[in-house]
Amino acid sequence: MRKRFLSIIVVAVAALVVLLNACAPQRNLLEQVYASGELRVLTRNAPTTYFIGPHGPTGPEYELIQAFARHLGVKVKLIVEDNLQTILDELVAGNAHIAAAGLTVTESRKRIVRFTPPYQTITEQVVFRSGTRKPRNIKDLSSGHLEIIANSSHAERLAALKQSEPELSWDENSEIGSSELLTLVAEEVIDYTVADSNEISLMRRYHPNIRVAFNISKPQQLAWAMSKGQDDSLYQEAVRFFESIKANGELKRLLAKHYGHMRNYDYAGTRTYMRHIERRLPNYQKLFIEAAEKNQLDWRLLAAIAYQESHWNPLAVSPTGVRGMMMLTKVTAKQLGISKRTDATQSIDGGARYIRKLVDKFSDLEEPDRTWFALASYNVGYGHVRDAQWITQQRGGDPTIWTDVKDNLPLLRRRKWYRQTKYGYARGREPVRYVENIRSYYDILRWYDDRETPHNTPKSVLAFSSPVL
């Protein structure tokens, strides 16, 4: 009898616990993220989304997601998946909170996922290789091999176009991304591909022979995707986040950081640069590596600076009297103990030491901005860059961010501003173009070096790297 009574009590207590749990308010998705301290994000490895750069993880989508995580006060768990259909399937299955993968907003996708406010506008474009017959319209694509990313918005676009052009055909590749397809066009493995305009602008630095034939879409919007459902708490927080970064200019600064140096890039000059990488650089690469290792620099950055200065010509002389591989002034050369500026070894070694000093002077800044500030100082002088930081602050910008300061450097040419500064007038536009050129030369050289020696990277290449997240 006693056992039966105890059993009844146990059952009653269990039922009461179940009832209390059922009555307790359930956490919504946003509260679950707060409780776990983790935001699970699907992304893909691409220059317009997420990749490991010389300073660690980076990319437009990566930095946006990190900003959102800071907004929430949580950490990010990245799930890297390059297949677009898998990304959408994993999101719908509830295995991630957000897909931040350079996704174009399309009607078919809107039926299965919910999109946040857009963060960027692109155009879908047909790409071909210069020197081959340029396709003028959709009909012309039937004469060659067209290959695109499987399950992409490009596939949706072509399927719609096929209704009026039944001869149109293409192959869908689920194994490689858009960057690789653009490489295949450049190497004449395939005739055409379709890519987003933002990625084309980045990849043309590495493949100056690829060209845009025509657009196949009107401007399209890129946005994050989230699963559909009655619980829209996390979605609404993402909406508030985008409203905030659009209003305070953070989104504009982030996009400028990744795409701004491409605005005036000389794609035609890339061919000459690539030729010099093949023919001139091997004569001096060892010197760049040795000098970089001594000064904890990336040798490819040092080589990019030297190319901007002299096109790797140790006998170069400018009208202002600077000379040598690193174009050092007499005063700087004397301070560095250099007896012959046109000696490549002395010039590269001295230039590396000088750059290291400039980087150290900006110890109050974070990378990669710290490097860009140092490069601007190498061109226009440390004092003028500090003046530009002061002007930036006076105008309500952030003096620690290169994208803000580079907008204000040109003001050093205006009497209204330079009269208020410590170091006075300077040709402020020149360091802006200088840094932008070096960034592109550096990116191309990193791409070239990684392609040529993916498993034999010099130690100095990793000098600025951060642990992979």
Residues 6+ apart with CB under 8 A from 122: 104, 196, 197, 198, 219, 220, 222
3-state secondary structure of 192: strand
| Rounded CA separation 228/116 (Å) | 11
Q: Which two tokens stand for residue 125?
A: 């474009």
217 phi and psi, to 5 degrees? -150, 160
Q: Which two tokens stand for residue 79?
A: 């799930």
| Rounded CA separation 301/437 (Å) | 12
**Residue 288, amino acid:** F
Q: Are 316 and 310 in contact (CB under 8 A)?
A: yes
Residue 17: Cβ within 10 Å count = 10
Closest CA to 182 of 194, 174, 172: 194
Q: Are 84 and 151 in contact (CB under 8 A)?
A: yes
309 an active-site residue? yes
Q: Are 414 and 375 in contact (CB under 8 A)?
A: no
Residue 266: Cβ within 10 Å count = 12
Residues 6+ apart with CB under 8 A from 185: 127, 128, 129, 191, 192, 193, 207, 210
| Bridge partners (DSSP) listed for residue 215 | 125
Closest CA to 274 of 448, 143, 153: 448
What DSSP string runs through 40-100? EEEE-BBTTTBEEETTEEE-HHHHHHHHHHHHHT-EEEEEE---HHHHHHHHHTTS-SEEE
| Rounded CA separation 452/319 (Å) | 37
Q: Which two tokens stand for residue 457?
A: 């990277």
| Rounded CA separation 389/369 (Å) | 12
| Bridge partners (DSSP) listed for residue 339 | none
Q: Are 130 and 210 in contact (CB under 8 A)?
A: yes
Closest CA to 119 of 237, 46, 222, 252: 222
Q: Which of 309, 367, 430, 452 is catalytic?
A: 309
Residues with a catalytic annotation lie at 309
